[in-house]
Homo-oligomer: A and B are copies of this chain.
């Protein structure tokens, strides 16, 4: 009987918040925001529900924090691969398109999270702002990459045309991302990046394929 088990162990605030946020994201992906109950989240994070209120002032607060975390993570995953490429502007654009259309960016969970959060995004001002900021950032990065690649190839493009090219390529990538995530079995591995590279190349008038 000297086996006196601790009833719980204390963790740092960051550790606990991270665990709660991860549990929240899993549940939002699986059941949506309303299906992610405080009891369910607590269970997945291996704590009791009362603890959530200790770290977050409300469920709303936790959801918002989880959303911000997720968006940051998505952005990082998308931009990290291209940032390390220094060969040429064309190569950088190539890597950017490719990594946007591969796991872990393309993933059923990502789509589920996007869909799960959309309601809140449309109603909550702060989340709406975060969402728009992320979209604009992505689009602008893509525009910069396209501009550099075209300049490098000696192709001139007016700002308005550049804007349209970036919007179109952004939509193409988003569409492939969505379809790859929503219908995973419909595409062979490597198919999405290949179609993406060919099509972005066609849109901007500069072949990207190796």
Instruction: Map CB proximity to B onto A150-175 as digits: 1 under 8 Å, 0 otherwise.
Output: 00000000000000100110111111
Q: Which residues of B contact A91 (CB under 8 A)?
A: none
Residue A118 at the chain B interface, CB threshold 8 Å: yes
**Which chain B residues border A33 with CB–CB below 8 Å?**
32
Given contacts A195-B164, A195-B168, contact A182 B118 (CB under 8 A): yes
Q: Which residues of B contact A19 (CB under 8 A)?
A: none
Q: Does A207 contact B (CB under 8 A)?
A: no
Chain A 22-59 per-residue mask, 1 if CB under 8 angstroms from chain B, else 0: 00000000111111000000000000000000000000
Which residues of the other chain, B, contact A179 by a CB distance below 8 angstroms? 135, 167, 170-171, 174
Number of interface residues of A (CB under 8 A): 41
Partner among B31, B175, B198, B199 whose Cβ is within 8 Å of the Cβ of A178: B175
On whether the beta carbons of B164 and A175 are closer than 8 Å, the reply is: no
Chain B residue contacts of A114, Cβ below 8 A:
115
A111 and B118 in contact (CB under 8 A), knowing A174-B178, A202-B203? yes
Q: Which residues of B contact A198 (CB under 8 A)?
A: 164, 168
A116 interface residue per 8 A CB criterion: yes
User: What residues on B are CB-neighbors of A30 within 8 Å?
Assistant: 119
- Knowing that A34-B34, A168-B196 touch, tell me 8 more A-B residue pairs with CB under 8 angstroms: A32-B119, A112-B119, A116-B118, A116-B119, A164-B198, A167-B195, A170-B175, A171-B175
Chain A residues packing against B (C-beta within 8 Å): 30-35, 108, 111-112, 114-116, 118-119, 121-122, 131-132, 135, 164, 167-168, 170-176, 178-179, 182-183, 186, 195-196, 198-199, 202-203, 205
5 contacts between A and B (CB under 8 A): A31-B119, A115-B116, A171-B195, A174-B178, A202-B205
